[in-house]
Amino acid sequence: MSLEKEIKRRRTFAIISHPDAGKTTLTEKLLLFGGAIHVAGAVKSNKIKKGATSDFMEIERQRGISVATSVMGFEYGGVKINILDTPGHQDFAEDTFRTLTAVDSVIIVVDSAKGVEAQTLKLMEVCRMRSTPVIVFVNKLDRNGKDPFELLDEIEEQLKISVRPLSWPISMGPSFKGVYNMYHNNLNLFSSSDKQTIGDVVKVNDINDPAIDKFVAPFADKMREELELVNGCYPEFEIQDYLDGKLAPVFFGSALNNFGVQDLLDCFIDIAPSPRPIQAIQREVNPYESTLTGFVFKIHANMDPNHRDRIAFFKICSGKFERNTNYLHTRLGKKLKFATPTAFMAEKKSIIDEAFPGDIVGIHDTGNFKIGDTLSSGEDLQFKGLPSFSPLMFKYVENGDPMKYKQLAKGVDQLMDEGVAQLFTNKFNGRKIIGTVGALQYEVIQYRLLHEYGATCKYEPVNIYKACWIVSDNKAQLEDFKKRKYTNIAFDKHGRDVFLADSMYSLQMAQEKFPDVKFHFTSEF
Ligand code: G4P
388 part of a folded domain: no
Ligand 1 centroid to 135 CA: how many Å? 20
Q: Which residue has the higher pLDDT, 451 or 339?
A: 339
Q: Which residues pair with 107 in a beta bridge?
A: 15, 135
333 and 239 in a common domain: no
184 by Cβ neighbours in 10 Å (0-12 / 13-18 / 19+) ranks as middle
CATH of the domain at 220: 3.40.50.300
Q: Is the CB of 25 under 6 A from ligand 1?
A: yes
Which numbered atom of ligand 1 lies nearest the CA of 254?
23
pLDDT for 258 equals 85
195 and 74 in a common domain: yes
Q: Which of 347, 376, 405 is the last residue of a domain?
A: 376
Q: Which long-range contacts (CB under 8 A, 24 or more apart) does 341-349 make?
A: 342/311, 343/73, 344/70, 344/71, 344/72, 344/73, 344/82, 345/36, 345/72, 345/73, 345/74, 346/31, 346/36, 346/37, 346/42, 346/72, 346/73, 346/74, 347/37, 347/42, 347/68, 347/69, 347/72
What percent of the chain clears pLDDT 70, i.e. is strictly above it?
Answer: 87
Which numbered atom of ligand 1 lies nearest the CA of 17?
3
433 and 286 in a common domain: no
Q: Is the CB of 262 under 6 A from ligand 1?
A: no
471 and 363 in a common domain: no
270 and 288 in a common domain: no
Render pLDDT for 431-445 as a digit per residue (tens, 0 to 9). 999 999 888 889 889
Range 117-144 average pLDDT:
91
pLDDT for 156 equals 95
Q: Which residue has the higher pLDDT, 193 or 311?
A: 311
Taking 90 as the threshold, does the pLDDT of residue 516 lie above it? yes
Q: Is the CB of 69 under 6 A from ligand 1?
A: no
Please tell me the least confidently modeled range out of 186-195, 217-226, 450-459: 186-195
pLDDT for 40 equals 62
447 and 352 in a common domain: no
CATH of the domain at 493: 3.30.70.3280
Domain extent, residue 334, equals: 279-376
Taking 70 as the threshold, does the pLDDT of residue 107 lie above it? yes
87 part of a folded domain: yes
502 and 481 in a common domain: yes
398 and 368 in a common domain: no
Taking 90 as the threshold, does the pLDDT of residue 49 lie above it? no
Q: Is the CB of 143 under 6 A from ligand 1?
A: yes
Mean pLDDT of the chain: 87
Q: Is the CB of 192 under 6 A from ligand 1?
A: no
Q: Is the CB of 88 under 6 A from ligand 1?
A: yes
54 part of a folded domain: yes
Ligand 1 centroid to 440 CA: how many Å? 23
Q: Are 141 and 113 in contact (CB under 8 A)?
A: no
pTM across the whole model = 0.86
pLDDT for 199 equals 53
Taking 80 as the threshold, does the pLDDT of residue 193 lie above it? no
* Domain count across the chain: 3
Range 132-157 average pLDDT:
95
Q: Which residue has the higher pLDDT, 285 or 177?
A: 285
pLDDT for 112 equals 96
135 and 244 in a common domain: yes
pLDDT for 52 equals 44
Task: Indicate the angle between helix axes 93-100 and 118-129, nearest 10 degrees.
Answer: 30
Ligand 1 centroid to 18 CA: how many Å? 12
Reduce the DSSP state of residue 360 to 3 states and report it: strand
